Structure 1
Amino acid sequence: MKIDSKYIPIYVSAILAIGIFIGGMLGFSAENQFSTANSSKAKLNQLIDFINNEYVDDVDTDSIVDKTVDNILAQLDPHSVYVPPTEQAAVAENMKGDFVGIGVRFYIYKDTVAIVQPIENGPSAKAGIKAGDRILYANGTKLFGRKLPTDTLFSKLKGKEGSEVLLTVYRNSEKKKINFKIRRGVIPLKSVDVGLMLNPITAYIKINRFAETTYEEFRSNLIRLKKQGAKSLVIDLRDNGGGYMEEAIAIADELLANRKLIVFTKNKRGRVDKTYATKKGDFEAGRLFVLINENSASASEILAGAIQDNDRGTIVGRRSFGKGLVQREIDFNDGSAVRLTVARYYTPTGRSIQKPYSKGEEQYFKESESRFQNGELYDKDSIKVDDSVRYKTTKGRLVYGGGGIVPDVFVPLEFGNANEATVYLMESGIVGNFVFEQLDKNRNGFKGLSFEQFLKKMNATDEYFILFKNLISIHARELQLEKSKTVIKRYLNAEFARQLYGEKAYYDIMLKDDVMIKIVLNKK
């Protein structure tokens, strides 16, 4: 399949829509029943029963109900949605912060479950599973050569905490089969990718979503980095589609002084609920920077808005997505759910940062695509702000509502000598798969290397760039990768580092040439 660079913004919009859908879960509560008291609800129930009992052909009435619910919610707003049982289970697990399993990162390589990396200190790592191993059988069930559905495969590896699974793996490096008995355990799903020091006094924490454990992950990283000498803090919320409102509020509380307003919500009856910072706070002083971009949404915008409106720190990047709606979840007995918008949230100055959605869901999500076309991602002066919704921060600075958080320091979309299509390609799953396959061919070639020796080895050769370029040219000849050599090698080196040394090594490489990070470190 050829990749046409002109369609990249469309692909990005589609991915963004999924990310915002998952990330935009705010203020959940459970309600399991709807009353059928009024005539409209009774009419719908009567019609379904009539079809079920009398229609000439067999009909899946469940699917009719699902479509009906979808159509009803489509008349509301883009974030009031119906979630089928299968999707609801996956989203709930993603936001929970952990699951019970064997603790491996894997992907399907030639119809076989290939281990990319065992999770550090997880059950598989403790049992002796290594990167590159192939899982052939789980409790006698054949897993290779069958093209098993993902949910079936997961069911063989996941289970109750403490339960055992007997794995038969093939170790490619030793050309032999090995049996492992693994006791399943709780595996964390990290929402904080990494916490590290950018220089002797500046800490960096990357948050990928706001899940149940995000605040605790953030705080433990913050305390550790403060012990290492952190006086300044960079919180990276780029591409963070949101999540639980309470987690963003708890993090804001660590950064703001007592009684500073963090956020408030207002429902259809005019009820206003305000949330203030408390006396606790591990980083209420010290320089603070928050990085955002066009994919930062929902809870990310709550945190960024609280910092900006209280003049606590500097917001760096590009205008955020613009989601200011609060959803409540209603769970059904079949495992499905409805997320209904029940309120709007406002930043401390009173701003609603919700962008318009009156033109429908399709146009709403395509608005992000239009930012490529109108130049907003490349030029600060192209950002369209509604001058009629002006507000002032605590120090009197002007900020605007009506469509996302506009950063204090604008940083254009910049890919060095690479175009957008190339960079989006490098951020796709194909890079991880390519790197795994290269390591699989010669894992011993990296054995025993220190990180510094690894960097020297990778920078001394164009071998992997050439192999990657040859692979991509088969499917996307129009991408002139030779012009993007420096950028591509950085992404490849970083992914090699991640699979060999872990997440921190990936960021150690990527952040050195990150434009926003350079601006933050050079800011006086």
Structure 2
Amino acid sequence: MAFHKKYIPLIIGVAIAIGVFIGGKLNFTDTSDRLFTSNSKKDKLNRLIDYIDYEYVDDINTDSIVDVTVNEILDNLDPHSTYIPKSELERVTNNMKGDFVGLGVNFYTFNDTITVIRTVEGGPSEKAGIKAGDRILMADGDSIFGKEWSNADIISKLKGEKGSRVRLSIFRKGENHLLEIKVKRDIVPIKSVDASYMLTDNLGYIKINRFAESTYKEFKRALDDLQDQGATQLALDLRDNPGGFLGIAEQIVDEFLEDDKLILFTKNKTGKIEKSFATRRGDFEEGEIYILINENSASASEIVAGALQDNDKGTIIGRRSYGKGLVQREMSLGDGSAVRLTVSRYYTPTGRSIQRPYDNGKSGDYYNDYSKRLSSGEFEDAEQIKISDSLKFTTPKGKVVYGGGGIIPDIFVPLNTTVQNETINYLKRREYISNFVFEELDKDRSIYDGVAADDFVPNFEVSDDIVIKFQDFVNFKERTNITFVAYHDQIKRLIKSELAQQLYGSTIAEKILNETDDMIEEVILLSRGDNYFEVNLSAKKNKD
């Protein structure tokens, strides 16, 4: 049988199409009987979703089903592989990027009205003339006050493209008419360096709340400023820092380690190892460094602490850290959502993994670790820290360190239960202190006109009457009858710190809290050659 020449192009085209089809299906682990079947794992899920979409008796939001399915799959992996739905991705991305496009105001919904707590320094709202205490009533002619407006609705209404303008109608106390202020939306930074100041004549202090894209630049500016003020020692506060970008942690470590010192290495599922070394650019290699950590210091915070500890650089102070030694990579799922999937483990320079066990995946055991450590007495007694001799490592100078679950500090500082307890933590979570301070401050802001931060810190005192007012405020909100007799002084300090936050910013607020902080006191003693907690621990061991 002969083919006419005119059919040859058609035959070639069909052959190419079949080849493309086979190539797309081909998997070298497949047997021949699977080559032309479409019953793969992915097809199975896709087919089920299609059946529900087109055949199921009721209308179902299959997007929500997919979200549940993705979360169920990830729940069977490690505790840190997570799904980020489309609705959350922008917020999460902005937080890790370190900035967002907006107006640059911190606000509080007071009596169903957006009230400005503080404008971001140098931000769009400050430039436009908006002040703390201003009530934003309308945006582009639309009312944005009332019980039906949630914070999410308000944020959605106020946000827009960079360079676009929004016309705000503002009520300001003392003015007899509404103010019309146009604000040009712009990039607003999300600070990751909460505080930077000198603790003593030569000891500087920097507190980092996360490792975002902008963190290294913020840190470097703060470090340079402290060195200009004479800092030859540095306290780097990583307490309650949940981590972030691994690369940013490496950059910060590089400031302290000499050239070619190993910072960490990672290993993926194929066994491929990638090592990260310090470069020549470090500006604090000759300085003394103290790293403050606690049970909530995780991931990138632990990379910093582990790299310095394993290189015999500096001193780690505090309590055993969280124990996260897994590296995630964010991957788009194509519909505006994403997954952060664990792609490798990281190891400190001595070769230890500080990831704590997760044999049961994301079960309650993993996330109840904090409660178990608290009840075991670990937060108050270093000898209650569980260690394994099989996970013992040695630094170049002979110091013994352990893997298997967090960074164990060189100097242990017990939890101060007067400062940190469930009552205080509850008040913070509910933002009662912040809201109370705002309402008190808003009664008459002129009281603080001309009061400089340098005068406020040493001279301002919170009265007993204010504590009683706060107690009444909480009891009204909670419909209860609690008293703060046991935490009287701590409540005063928290109120003063929050007042400083709203008047002067986070550095002054942290400075007030640090005045009676046990770890800060220990750092100052160490920098002067003393060591209160180590002496006491040694005495305890000798006694035992």
Alpha-carbon deviations, 1:202-247, whole Å to 9, x = none? 1101100000011111111101110110000010000000000000
> Equivalent residue for 2:306?
305
> Equivalent residue for 1:516?
519
Alignment of 1:410 with 2:412, yes or no, is yes
> Equivalent residue for 1:260?
261
Structure 1 residues 496 and 155: CA distance shift in structure 2, 3 A: same
> Equivalent residue for 1:196?
197
Structure 1 residues 453 and 206: CA distance shift in structure 2, 3 A: closer
Counterpart CA distance in 1 for 2:306 and 2:54 is 54
Letter in structure 2 aligned against 1:499:
Q
> Equivalent residue for 2:240?
239
Q: What SS does the corresponding residue of 2:255 show, helix, strand or coil?
A: helix
Q: What SS does the corresponding residue of 2:178 show, helix, strand or coil?
A: strand
> Equivalent residue for 1:503?
506
Alignment of 1:140 with 2:144, yes or no, is no
> Equivalent residue for 1:283?
284
Q: What SS does the corresponding residue of 1:73 show, helix, strand or coil?
A: helix
Range moving further from structure 2, 300-309 or 150-159: 150-159
Counterpart CA distance in 2 for 1:479 and 1:386 is 44
> Equivalent residue for 1:377?
379
Counterpart CA distance in 2 for 1:341 and 1:500 is 42
Counterpart CA distance in 2 for 1:338 and 1:48 is 20
Letter in structure 1 aligned against 2:327:
V
Alpha-carbon deviations, 1:459-479, whole Å to 9, x = none? 262232111122223427575
Counterpart CA distance in 1 for 2:454 and 2:66 is 59
> Equivalent residue for 2:439?
437
Range moving further from structure 2, 356-365 or 457-466: 457-466
Aligned residues of 1:288 and 1:313 also touching (Cα < 8 A) = yes
Q: How does 1:3-14 map to 2 (within 5 A)?
A: none
Q: How does 1:48-447 map to 2 (within 5 A)?
A: 48-174=49-175, 176-361=177-362, 362-416=364-418, 420-428=421-429, 429-447=431-449
Counterpart CA distance in 1 for 2:304 and 2:455 is 40
> Equivalent residue for 1:451?
453
Structure 1 residues 177 and 202: CA distance shift in structure 2, 3 A: same
Alpha-carbon deviations, 1:371-392, whole Å to 9, x = none? 1111111111111112210001
The alpha-carbon deviation at position 456 of structure 1 amounts to 6.7
Counterpart CA distance in 2 for 1:254 and 1:455 is 31
Structure 1 residues 455 and 339: CA distance shift in structure 2, 3 A: closer
> Equivalent residue for 1:4?
none
Alpha-carbon deviations, 1:317-373, whole Å to 9, x = none? 000000011112220222111111111100000010000111232211111121111
Counterpart CA distance in 2 for 1:317 and 1:453 is 31
Range moving further from structure 2, 290-299 or 95-104: 95-104
Alpha-carbon deviations, 1:172-229, whole Å to 9, x = none? 2445421111111111111111211111101101100000011111111101110110
Aligned residues of 1:422 and 1:484 also touching (Cα < 8 A) = no
Q: What SS does the corresponding residue of 1:242 show, helix, strand or coil?
A: coil
The alpha-carbon deviation at position 426 of structure 1 amounts to 4.8
The alpha-carbon deviation at position 41 of structure 1 amounts to 1.6
The alpha-carbon deviation at position 151 of structure 1 amounts to 3.1
Counterpart CA distance in 2 for 1:402 and 1:389 is 6
Counterpart CA distance in 2 for 1:481 and 1:366 is 28
Aligned residues of 1:415 and 1:423 also touching (Cα < 8 A) = no
Structure 1 residues 136 and 517: CA distance shift in structure 2, 3 A: same
User: How large is the Cα RMSD of the aligned pairs?
Assistant: 1.8
Alpha-carbon deviations, 1:397-427, whole Å to 9, x = none? 11000000000000111044x5612331453
Structure 2 residue corresponding to 1:463, chosen from 453, 459, 465: 465
Aligned residues of 1:426 and 1:491 also touching (Cα < 8 A) = no
Letter in structure 2 aligned against 1:508:
K
Structure 1 residues 176 and 387: CA distance shift in structure 2, 3 A: farther
Structure 1 residues 460 and 384: CA distance shift in structure 2, 3 A: closer
Larger Rg: 2
Structure 1 residues 419 and 161: CA distance shift in structure 2, 3 A: closer
Counterpart CA distance in 2 for 1:40 and 1:506 is 54
Q: What SS does the corresponding residue of 1:41 show, helix, strand or coil?
A: helix
Counterpart CA distance in 2 for 1:463 and 1:454 is 19
Q: How many residues align?
A: 489
Counterpart CA distance in 2 for 1:453 and 1:212 is 35
Aligned residues of 2:471 and 2:482 also touching (Cα < 8 A) = no
TM-score by length of 2: 0.87
Counterpart CA distance in 2 for 1:233 and 1:67 is 46
Q: What SS does the corresponding residue of 2:199 show, helix, strand or coil?
A: strand
Letter in structure 2 aligned against 1:81:
T
Letter in structure 2 aligned against 1:463:
D
Letter in structure 2 aligned against 1:379:
D
Aligned residues of 1:291 and 1:316 also touching (Cα < 8 A) = yes
Percent pairwise identity: 51
> Equivalent residue for 1:5?
none
> Equivalent residue for 1:14?
none
Structure 1 residues 153 and 371: CA distance shift in structure 2, 3 A: same
Counterpart CA distance in 1 for 2:428 and 2:267 is 38
What stretches of structure 2 of length at least 5 have no aligned partner? 1-26, 28-36, 530-544
Letter in structure 2 aligned against 1:392:
T
Range moving further from structure 2, 248-257 or 497-506: 497-506
Q: What SS does the corresponding residue of 2:188 show, helix, strand or coil?
A: strand
Structure 1 residues 393 and 385: CA distance shift in structure 2, 3 A: same
Counterpart CA distance in 1 for 2:271 and 2:482 is 53
> Equivalent residue for 1:482?
485
Q: What SS does the corresponding residue of 1:459 show, helix, strand or coil?
A: coil
> Equivalent residue for 1:7?
none
The alpha-carbon deviation at position 112 of structure 1 amounts to 0.7
Aligned residues of 2:462 and 2:492 also touching (Cα < 8 A) = no
Q: What SS does the corresponding residue of 2:191 show, helix, strand or coil?
A: coil
Letter in structure 1 aligned against 2:354:
I
Query: Which has the higher relative contact order, 1 or 2, with Cα contacts under 8 A spaced 6 or more apart?
Result: 1
The alpha-carbon deviation at position 104 of structure 1 amounts to 0.8
Counterpart CA distance in 2 for 1:68 and 1:413 is 40
